[in-house]
């Protein structure tokens, strides 16, 4: 009983230390509010307000209908330019796309010829350029077909492909990117807070004060794990409700309590990694460098940015060693597919097992560092 009492009071000291640090509090607020909102709304995998210009050398009804077919939200209203201005406006980054309609375009279409339309693309914006090029081709094809057939007739194929989305029927990228940002920030902040807490004790010299008290290494580490984990869990819960569900209007298909329970388990594993890094590093500068080589792979290989199956085959087995991979699979199953405990329990067991291994290893390393310092 005395052990857990010491852990509780040490944890409250850690809470006061973190919440009294204005910069750290501002970082927590930023990561779970503005950063999630900006990542969800600023990054788009669809064409949005792309700039486009038209070089109309035909000046026919068909060429004007093509020019008028580009409008928001996919494209800005098309501007008319001359053929001699193409290189200049592309070099000046004024337009992402320039569509050149040749002379006698409408006449060639009427005569059954196959006239060509030139599309100049600024491919420095790779995703927008690739998707926008396909959009433009489809728009021009539809306008030409309508002009030739005088109707919106569509080809009837013998096989009809019907697509149904189990989640996110409109394909809104904000739904996926906001959840991904939220889960990545849990990993980032849990490791930073616990590792920095241990280094702060060492740099301020208070670790020696703790060592002369009747405290064990387990009590010192466990107090930092639960205190910093609680801060991240509260921030995660508030961000999930106010930012993700309320402001970004992202629905949660599964149980919120199951999601919070799984997040609590994962925070134990992530905090253990933070303790491990904080024990290895001797200064904050070393800790920051270690974060770069640990957190970035954890995020990239967790399956939130690219599916595990799409990653190189030689890397996929190593992703099993990352608790973030199992946490991402658990969270996506609960949030997107509405999975219950009977489906996600293997992922929870993996997180618990890896968390226990990291915690035991971190505890042994911390005890060794204390023995050396003595």
55-70 residue pLDDT tens? 999 988 888 999 898 9
Neighbouring residues of 190: CB distance < 8 A, sequence distance ≥ 6? 228, 229, 232, 267, 270, 271, 274
Tokens for 122?
Answer: 């600024």
Neighbouring residues of 77: CB distance < 8 A, sequence distance ≥ 6? 70, 71
Q: What is the average pLDDT score of the chain?
A: 84
Check the CA dihedral 170-335-293-37 and report its sign.
Answer: positive
Tokens for 114?
Answer: 């196959």
Residue closest to 220 by CA, chosen among 229, 232, 207: 207
The percent of residues above 90 in pLDDT, for the chain, comes to: 15
Tokens for 11?
Answer: 């944890």
pLDDT tens for 92-119 read: 888 889 999 999 898 888 888 888 899 8
CATH of domain 52-149: 3.40.1710.10
Q: Please count the CA atoms within 13 angstroms of the CA of 177 that sit on its side-chain side.
A: 16
* pLDDT confidence of residue 98: 92
Q: State the pTM of this model.
A: 0.76
* pLDDT confidence of residue 307: 79
The average pLDDT across 6-30 equals: 83
Q: Which residues pair with 59 in a beta bridge?
A: none
Q: Is the pLDDT of residue 16 over 70?
A: yes
Task: Assess contact for 249 and 259: CB atoms under 8 A.
Answer: no
The single residue listed with the structure tokens 């205190």 is 227
The domain locations on the chain are 2-43+168-373, 52-149
């Amino acid at each position: 009983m005395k052990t857990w009492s010491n852990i509780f009071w040490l944890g409250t000291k850690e809470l006061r230390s973190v919440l009294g640090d204005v910069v750290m509090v501002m970082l927590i607020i930023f990561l779970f509010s503005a950063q999630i909102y900006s990542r969800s709304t600023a990054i788009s995998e669809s064409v949005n307000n792309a700039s486009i210009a038209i070089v109309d050398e035909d000046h026919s009804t068909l060429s004007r209908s093509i020019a008028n077919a580009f409008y928001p939200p996919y494209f800005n209203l098309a501007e008319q330019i001359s053929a001699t201005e193409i290189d200049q406006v592309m070099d000046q980054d004024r337009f992402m796309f320039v569509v050149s309609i040749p002379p006698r375009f409408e006449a060639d279409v009427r005569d059954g010829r196959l006239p060509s339309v030139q599309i100049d693309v600024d491919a420095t914006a790779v995703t927008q350029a690739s998707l926008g090029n396909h959009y433009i081709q489809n728009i021009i094809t539809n306008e030409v077909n309508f002009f030739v057939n005088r109707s919106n007739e569509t080809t009837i194929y013998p096989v009809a492909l019907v697509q149904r989305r189990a989640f996110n029927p409109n394909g809104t990228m904000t739904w996926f990117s906001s959840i991904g940002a939220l889960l990545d920030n849990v990993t980032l902040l849990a490791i930073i807070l616990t590792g920095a807490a241990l280094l702060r004790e060492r740099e301020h010299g208070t670790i020696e004060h703790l060592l002369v008290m009747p405290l064990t290494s387990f009590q010192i580490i466990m107090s930092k794990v639960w205190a910093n984990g609680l801060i991240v869990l509260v921030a995660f819960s508030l961000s999930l409700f106010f930012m993700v569900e309320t402001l970004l209007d992202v629905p949660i298909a599964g149980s919120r309590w199951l999601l919070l329970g799984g997040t609590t388990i994962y925070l134990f594993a992530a905090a253990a990694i933070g303790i491990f890094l904080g024990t290895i590093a001797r200064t904050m500068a070393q800790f920051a460098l270690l974060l770069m080589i640990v957190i970035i792979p954890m995020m990239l290989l967790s399956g939130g940015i690219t599916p595990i199956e799409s990653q190189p085959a030689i890397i996929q087995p190593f992703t099993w060693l990352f608790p973030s991979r199992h946490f991402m699979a658990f969270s996506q199953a609960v949030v997107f597919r509405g999975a219950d405990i009977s489906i996600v329990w293997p992922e929870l067991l993996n997180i618990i097992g890896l968390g226990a291994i990291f915690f035991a290893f971190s505890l042994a390393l911390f005890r060794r560092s204390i023995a050396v310092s003595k």
